[in-house]
């Protein structure tokens, strides 16, 4: 048995607005065994955290690790080998920013998840939807106006974030195929999107019958549906159908936010991606019609945080960055911190994320029985959220499942 004692740590997990008093945390194998002021061990290796901040590993609940270029239409045409190789670098960089678990909401397949869990390369724990479901002309249909070739039903490229399905039987089959292929939950595109060519933001995706069907399929597989959403109308029809994870939500209104909170939904805002698409997207090859649509949702995003907070709708951390823009993953902390208290921003990436992922007690917390997924931050992120940015420059220790990924002496 390997044991490790982290001494003299102030804990920040997002549940309190102040750091904890100094405590010691004992890790045995891959699990937190004990913690407290008097916890010690004669046999454990010791790391003196020396008053730095110890946090649970961070979680990003909206990523696309296989989005290796900014233009999603182009991404879907890349060879699987190139997408796989580049996604390894995307995941490595996420882990080095302190994200020890990420939820992929369209693209990553079970092979990638299995390879990551076998430890073949450094990567966050992956929770995956497989391919997102999109109706014809929806947010994962990149064929364009003049392309009437049939959408593939099998052998969908790794670089494609989703697949097209239409009608209740077809939607059910697609959901079942994704579950069979190893999806942890089902992702649907239930509203127009920025990156896709023929669906204005205000289009609703899927009929109510299709939404009800996909929710039933997810429930049959003991899981839930996550939906890509912007407009208040699209969000409310998904909440009514039983969708649990509400992505983006930039144009949500108060009544819908309250209804969503009552139904136990969790929202996943992704404000950083609209900032970056607006400033960098064009130079990275995102088509002009996609850039034009970004402005429809970008400016409303900040207001949506206040609306959801007032409605007591839980919000998990999401970034939704594509290709070269992945490096901005941690800036969502700073953007949300302009509106919300720092501990609530942090809880989005810890306890709320764990609740959304159905992994409460295992991740997002430092407590006996939890995975030893931990990061040490030089300074106090409760007073300065930007300590979590800059590619992990202020994160001196990263541990995943008890394995030390990074351990440097702070400057
Ligand atoms: Zn997305």
Task: Tell me, rounded to whole angstroms, the distance of Cα 315 from its chain centroid.
Answer: 11
Helices vs. strands in the chain: H and E counts, helices first:
12, 18
Q: Out of 1-5, 11-15, 175-179, which region has the weakest mean confidence (pLDDT)?
A: 1-5
pLDDT value, residue 285 = 87
Percent of the chain with pLDDT over 70: 100
pLDDT value, residue 410 = 67
pLDDT value, residue 299 = 86
Q: How far apart are CA 91 and CA 97, in angstroms?
A: 10
From ligand 1's centre to the CA of 227, what distance in Å? 10
Q: What is the pTM for the complete model shown?
A: 0.97
pLDDT value, residue 395 = 97
The segment with the largest mean pLDDT, out of 14-18, 145-149, 295-299, is: 14-18
Grouping H, G, I as helix, E, B as strand and the rest as coil, residue 336 is helix
User: pLDDT per residue over 333-367, tens digit each?
Assistant: 999 999 999 999 999 999 999 999 999 999 999 99
Ion ligand 1 residues within 5 Å by Cβ? 320
Q: At residue 312, does pLDDT exceed 90?
A: yes
Task: Tell me, rounded to whole angstroms, the distance of Cα 236 from its chain centroid.
Answer: 22
From ligand 1's centre to the CA of 409, what distance in Å? 36
From ligand 1's centre to the CA of 365, what distance in Å? 26
Q: How far is CA 355 from CA 10, 141, 245, 358, in A?
A: 24, 31, 11, 5
pLDDT value, residue 138 = 94
pLDDT value, residue 411 = 58
From ligand 1's centre to the CA of 39, what distance in Å? 43
CB 388 within 8 A of CB 98: yes
Task: Tell me, rounded to whole angstroms, the distance of Cα 384 from its chain centroid.
Answer: 22
Q: At residue 327, does pLDDT exceed 70?
A: yes
User: pLDDT per residue over 366-409, tens digit each?
Assistant: 999 999 999 999 999 999 999 999 999 999 999 999 999 999 97
pLDDT value, residue 4 = 95
pLDDT value, residue 288 = 87
User: pLDDT per residue over 192-216, tens digit each?
Assistant: 988 888 888 999 999 999 999 999 9
pLDDT value, residue 409 = 76
Q: How far apart are CA 236 and CA 281, in angstroms?
A: 30
From ligand 1's centre to the CA of 105, what distance in Å? 6
Q: How far is CA 110 from CA 120, 184, 295, in A?
A: 14, 9, 34
pLDDT value, residue 296 = 79
From ligand 1's centre to the CA of 62, what distance in Å? 6
From ligand 1's centre to the CA of 174, what distance in Å? 19
From ligand 1's centre to the CA of 172, what distance in Å? 22
pLDDT average, residue stretch 150-155: 90
pLDDT value, residue 194 = 85
pLDDT value, residue 195 = 83
Q: Which helix (H) or strand (E) holds 390?
A: none
CB 26 within 8 A of CB 3: yes
**Cα maximum dimension of the chain:** 71
From ligand 1's centre to the CA of 23, what distance in Å? 38
Tell me which long-range contacts 252-259 makes (C-beta under 8 A, separation of at least 24): 252/304, 252/307, 252/308, 253/307, 254/307, 254/310, 254/311, 256/232, 257/307, 257/308, 257/310, 257/311, 257/313, 258/311, 258/312, 258/313
HSE-CB of 274 using CA atoms within 13 angstroms: 22
Mean pLDDT rounded to a whole number for the chain: 96
Q: How far apart are CA 191 and CA 166, in angstroms?
A: 15
From ligand 1's centre to the CA of 247, what distance in Å? 8
């Amino acid at each position: 048995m390997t044991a490790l004692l982290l001494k003299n740590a102030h804990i920040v997990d997002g549940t309190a607005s102040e750091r904890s008093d100094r405590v010691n945390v004992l890790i045995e194998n891959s699990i937190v065994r004990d913690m407290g002021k008097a916890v010690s061990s004669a046999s454990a290796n010791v790391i003196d955290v020396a008053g730095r901040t110890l946090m649970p590993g961070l979680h990003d609940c909206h990523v696309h690790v296989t989005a290796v270029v900014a233009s999603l239409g182009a991404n879907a045409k890349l060879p699987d080998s190139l997408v796989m190789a580049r996604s390894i670098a995307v995941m490595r960089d996420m882990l080095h920013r302190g994200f020890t678990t990420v939820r992929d909401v369209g693209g990553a397949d079970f092979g990638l998840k299995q390879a990551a869990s076998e430890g073949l390369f450094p990567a966050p724990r992956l929770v995956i939807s497989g391919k997102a479901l999109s109706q014809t002309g929806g947010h994962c249909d990149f064929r364009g106006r003049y392309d009437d070739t049939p959408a593939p039903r099998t052998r969908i490229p790794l670089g494609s974030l989703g697949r097209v399905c239409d009608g209740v039987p077809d939607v059910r089959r697609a959901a079942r195929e994704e579950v069979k292929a190893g999806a942890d939950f089902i992702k649907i595109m239930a509203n127009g999107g920025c990156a896709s060519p023929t669906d204005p933001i205000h289009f609703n995706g899927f009929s109510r019958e299709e939404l009800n069907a996909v929710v039933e399929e997810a429930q049959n597989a003991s899981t839930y549906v996550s939906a890509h959403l912007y407009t208040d109308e699209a969000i409310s029809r998904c909440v009514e159908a039983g969708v649990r994870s509400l992505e983006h939500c930039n144009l949500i209104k108060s009544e819908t936010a309250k209804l969503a909170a009552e139904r136990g939904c969790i929202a996943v805002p992704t404000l950083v991606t609209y900032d970056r698409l607006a400033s960098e997207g064009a130079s990275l090859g995102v088509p002009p019609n996609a850039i034009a649509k970004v402005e429809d949702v970008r400016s409303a995003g900040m207001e949506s945080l206040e609306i959801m907070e007032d409605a007591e709708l839980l919000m998990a951390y999401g970034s939704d960055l594509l290709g070269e823009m992945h490096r901005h993953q941690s800036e969502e902390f700073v953007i949300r911190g302009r509106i919300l208290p720092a501990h609530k921003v942090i809880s989005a990436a810890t306890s709320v994320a764990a609740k959304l992922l159905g992994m409460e007690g295992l991740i997002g917390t430092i407590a006996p029985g939890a995975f030893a997924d931990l990061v040490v931050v030089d300074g106090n992120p409760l007073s300065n959220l930007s300590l979590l940015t800059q590619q992990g420059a202020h994160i001196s220790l990263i541990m995943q499942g008890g394995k030390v990924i990074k351990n440097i002496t702070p400057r």
